[in-house]
Amino acid sequence: MASLSLITPSPEIRDELHRRGGDTARRCFQCATCSAVCSLAPDDQPFPRRQMLMAQWGQIDRLAADPAVWLCHQCNDCTVRCPRNARPGDVLQAVRSMVIEGLAAPAWLGRLVGKARSTWPLLLGAPILFWVVLLGLTGHLAWPAHVTAFEQVVPHVLIYSVFLPVAAWVLAVVFIEGGRFWAFLGSSSPPRRGSFFGALLPVLGEIGTHRRFARCEAARPRRTGHFLLMWGFVGAAVTSGLLVVALYGFGMEMPLPLGHPFKILGNLSAIALVVGVVLLVVERWSQPRVSGATTAFDTFFLTVVFLVVATGVLSEVARLTLPGQVAGGVYVAHLSFVLTLFLSFPYSKFAHALYRTLAMTHERMTAAE
Ligand code: SF4
Ligand code: SF4
């Protein structure tokens, strides 16, 4: 495991955890209330008391190989009940951010996104600059006074020639990081049994229904927001795939009419994303104790999702009601934020989708019969 071999138990690691919002770990006096109240922890492998001890000692390698770190859904039931306000939910979140950065490929991109607080302007600004330069170089910066289709702003061929290679690259990174994590998980657990895909399928069903999340009490509103956000992303991804097929496979005219099934799926996904983001942001503002500490790791991801959703909706409104230059600008901003979201996926909080899925699959494959 290339990157994490550099990380050894040390006061520096402990300090890094503190910097990421895990500073409350030092208050823990090992009473185990958290493990007792966590409804997601299995009886034979309770968490997060043990993980709090590892965090206090800065044992990031042991934490990185511990599936419990990802089986935690940060519902913060334990945080609310902890008599020392050691905030175990936040500590595990800080650990997750360190593991994501430690396993990142390439490592420098992991560091860039991991330090999001100081690199926000670059992460959000560079894709905007990229699109403006690309459109300028290809002669597509002179938009009509009234935009009837976004094809007039950025041709589809340009969009796909950017996003398809980016998607392929992200997929390759996901395989590398997932492989590293899988090897790490296997190094410290009982041997896995059965087939990977045989275990993965029920895990996907569990994730799709958020069955496990439903067992957490303190964060019920967050479950709904998370559920909508997840299915909004899935719907948006499926719609994008269908549009590629419709455009290049069947030569269909864009934009599609409002009543077209692809358009309906796209709009329903957009609604799910909007409602999901609003629920999560409102819950974060109104219940900070339950939502967890606000860190750059958290806010960067939520902010990018918010910007993607907001500019996506605004693009459609601006196309119908505002001058072409404004609509074009909003649309280019939207594409830029989507690019940031894509590129930062393996390094931001978004990557929990990969790591948690693998940890749940590993858990199923190592469960006692
Ligand atoms: S985190 Fe809190 S509840 Fe858990 S063992 Fe430490 S002091 Fe007890
Ligand atoms: S945040 Fe929730 S899931 Fe995570 S350890 Fe605490 S109680 Fe368990």
DSSP secondary structure of 268-306: HHHHHHHHHHHHHHHHHHH-HHHH----HHHHHHHHHHH
d(CA 73, CA 219): 10
Find out whether the beta carbon of 290 lies less than 6 Å from any atom of ligand 1: no
Task: Residue 78: name the closest of 22, 40, 33, 45 by CA.
Answer: 33
The rounded Å distance from CA 132 to ligand 1 centre is 51
pLDDT > 70: what percent of the chain? 93
**CA 74–ligand 2 middle distance (angstroms):** 5
Q: Lowest-confidence range among 119-128, 212-221, 315-324, 326-335?
A: 212-221
Ligand 1: which residue has its CA nearest to atom 2?
82
Nearest CA to ligand 1 atom 7: 28
Closest CA to 349 of 294, 309, 311: 294
Query: Which residues form ligand 2's pocket by a CB distance below 6 Å?
Result: 34, 38, 40-41, 47-48, 72-78, 88-89, 92, 216
What tokens were used for 119? 């690199």
Positive/negative CA dihedral, 112, 301, 9, 71: negative
- pLDDT tens, 234-273? 999 899 888 888 887 777 877 778 888 888 999 899 999 9
Ligand with the closest atom to the CA of 52: 1
The continuous run of DSSP H or E covering 251 comes out as none
Cis, bond preceding 48 (omega within 30 deg of 0): yes
Tell me if 3-102 shares its fold with 108-366. Answer: no
- In 3D space, the residue among 244, 251, 242, 236 whose CA is nearest the CA of residue 334 turns out to be 236
Whether residue 191 has a cis bond before it, omega within 30° of 0: no
Mutational test site, ligand 1, from 24, 27, 29, 34, max ligand atoms within 8 Å of CB: 34
> Which of 17, 23, 26, 30 is the best mutation target for the ligand 1 pocket, counting ligand atoms within 8 Å of the beta carbon and taking the most?
30
Q: 2: pLDDT confidence band, cut at 50, 70 and 90? A: very low
Mutate to test the pocket of ligand 2, among 35, 52, 63, 78 (most ligand atoms within 8 A of CB): 78
pLDDT tens for 9-29 read 567 887 888 888 888 999 999
Output the average pLDDT for the chain: 88
* pLDDT band of 359, cuts 50, 70, 90: very high
Whether residue 59 contacts residue 9, with contact meaning beta carbons closer than 8 Å, is answered with: yes
The reply to whether omega before 106 is within 30° of 0 (cis) is yes
How far is it, in rounded angstroms, from Cα 183 to Cα 353?
A: 18
**Residue 139 burial by CB count (10 A; 0-12/13-18/19+): exposed, middle or buried?**
exposed
Instruction: Tell me the two tokens of residue 326.
Output: 């404004």
How remote is the C-alpha of 222 from its chain's centroid? 15
**Residue among 303, 301, 274, 233 at smallest CA distance from 74:** 301
Q: Is 20 in the pocket of ligand 1 (CB under 6 A)?
A: no
Ligand 2 pocket test: pick from 45, 51, 92, 211 the residue with the most ligand atoms within 8 Å of its Cβ.
Answer: 92
User: What's the CA gap between 127 and 166, in Å, rounded?
Assistant: 12
So where are the chain's domains? Answer: 3-102, 108-366
Whole-number Å distance, alpha carbon 226 to ligand 1 midpoint, is: 26
Nearest CA residue ID for atom 6, ligand 2: 78
Per residue in 270-301, pLDDT (tens digit) is 999 989 988 888 887 776 665 565 677 778 88
Q: Could you give the CA distance from residue 108 to residue 281 in angstroms, rounded to a whole number? A: 30
* Domain covering 3-102: architecture: Orthogonal Bundle (1.10)
- Fold of the CATH domain 108-366: Fumarate Reductase Cytochrome B subunit (1.20.950)
**Quick one: the chain helix, strand, coil %, rounded to 5?**
75, 0, 25
